[in-house]
C-alpha cells in the first residue's frame, strides 16, 4: 500500500498493528502517514505520545521533531523542556542548529534570561546576523542596553559582506536599535551619529519617519 501511495490503507493497516501489536516503530510510521494525509494535528499527537512513552529516546532526529512540534502547537516552553532533557541525557547533539532551536523556544516562551545563552552559542558558531539581532532584542527585553548595543554591533559585522537589499534592511534595523540602546545608556553623541547614519540609509517613508521621531526624541 505504501509503494502504491495508498496512504489511507497504510493508515488503516498501521492502526490495526498498533492496537494489537504495539511496537514503537508503528507509532512513528503512523504519525508519518497522518502527515502525508495532511492531518498534522493527529500526526503531532501520535509523535508526542510516542515521545512520552520513551519510544524516541534512541532516535535523535525524531526527538528534535518532537520538540519542534511544540512550537507548531503554541507550546514553545515544552519544546525547550524536551531539548534540555535530550541534551542533558546526551541523546541529541548540541549542534548550532539544535542550540539555536532551544534559544528560540525560550525566546518565544518569553523566558528571555534562559534564551540568551543558547542563542549566543549558536550565533558565535554560525556568525548569524539574524541570531545576533534576536539576542539584541532579548537583551532589550531584559533592560540590558549595554549588551543589546554590543549584539546589534555584531549584527552589522555579520552583514558586512552581504550587499543584498534584505541585508540593507537588517543593517538599518540593527543600527536603529543600537541607537535606541545608546540613548537609554545616555551615550547621546554616538547615538546621534548612528541615527544620522540610519537617516541616510532609510529608503521608504515609514523608515524616514521613524528616524525623524527618534532624532526629535534625542534632541529633547
The b/e string for 168-206 (b: 16+ C-beta within 10 A; e otherwise) is eebbbbbbbbbbbbbbeeebeeebbebbebbbebbeeee
- Are 189 and 183 in contact by the 8 Å Cβ rule? The answer is no
72-111 tens-digit pLDDT: 889 999 999 999 999 999 999 999 999 999 999 999 999 9
For residue 135, pLDDT over 80 is answered with: yes
The grid cell for 215 is 532624532
For 124-141, letters b (16+ CB in 10 Å) and e give eebebbebbbbbbbbbbe
Q: How far is CA 48 from CA 54, 65, 93, in A?
A: 10, 10, 20
Q: How far is CA 70 from CA 91, 94, 183, 203, in A?
A: 18, 19, 38, 38
In whole angstroms, give the CA distance from residue 89 to residue 111. Answer: 22
**Band of residue 179 on the pLDDT scale cut at 50, 70, 90:** very high
Percent of the chain with pLDDT over 70: 100
Nearest to 157 by CA among 188, 133, 187: 133
pLDDT at 164: 86
Query: Is 139 within 8 Å of 148 (Cβ atoms)?
Result: yes
User: What is the value of pTM for the model shown?
Assistant: 0.80
Answer whether 181's CB lies under 8 Å from 140's CB.
yes
The CA distance from 69 to 71, in Å, is 5
**Of the candidates 157, 135, 136, 138, the residue with the CA atom closest to the CA atom of residue 148:** 136
For 102-128, how does the pLDDT look when each residue is reduced to its tens digit (9 = 90+)? 999 999 999 999 999 999 999 888 778
Closest CA to 67 of 55, 51, 54, 53: 51
At 56 the pLDDT is: 87
E strands present in the chain: none
Amino acid at each position: 500500500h505504501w509503494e502504491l501511495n495508498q496512504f489511507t490503507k497504510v493508515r488503516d493497516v498501521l492502526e490495526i498493528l498498533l492496537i494489537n501489536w504495539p511496537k514503537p516503530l508503528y507509532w512513528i510510521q503512523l504519525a508519518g502517514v497522518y502527515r502525508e494525509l495532511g492531518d498534522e494535528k493527529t500526526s503531532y499527537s501520535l509523535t508526542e505520545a510516542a515521545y512520552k512513552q520513551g519510544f524516541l529516546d534512541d532516535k535523535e532526529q525524531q526527538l528534535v521533531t518532537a520538540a519542534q512540534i511544540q512550537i507548531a502547537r503554541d507550546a514553545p516552553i515544552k519544546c525547550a523542556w524536551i531539548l534540555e532533557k535530550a541534551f542533558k541525557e546526551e541523546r541529541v547533539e548540541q549542534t548550532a542548529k539544535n542550540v539555536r532551536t532551544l534559544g528560540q523556544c525560550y525566546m518565544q516562551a518569553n523566558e528571555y534570561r534562559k534564551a540568551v545563552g543558547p542563542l549566543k552559542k549558536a550565533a558565535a558558531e554560525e556568525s548569524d546576523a539574524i541570531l545576533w539581532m534576536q539576542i539584541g532584542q532579548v537583551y532589550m527585553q531584559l533592560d540590558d542596553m549595554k549588551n543589546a548595543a554590543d549584539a546589534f554591533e555584531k549584527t552589522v559585522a555579520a552583514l558586512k559582506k552581504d550587499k543584498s537589499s534584505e541585508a540593507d534592511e537588517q543593517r538599518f534595523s540593527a543600527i536603529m536599535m543600537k541607537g535606541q540602546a545608546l540613548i537609554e545608556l545616555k551615550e547621546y553623541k554616538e547615538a546621534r551619529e548612528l541615527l544620522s547614519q540610519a537617516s541616510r540609509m532609510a529608503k521608504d517613508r515609514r523608515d524616514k519617519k521613524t528616524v525623524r521621531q527618534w532624532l526629535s526624541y534625542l534632541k529633547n
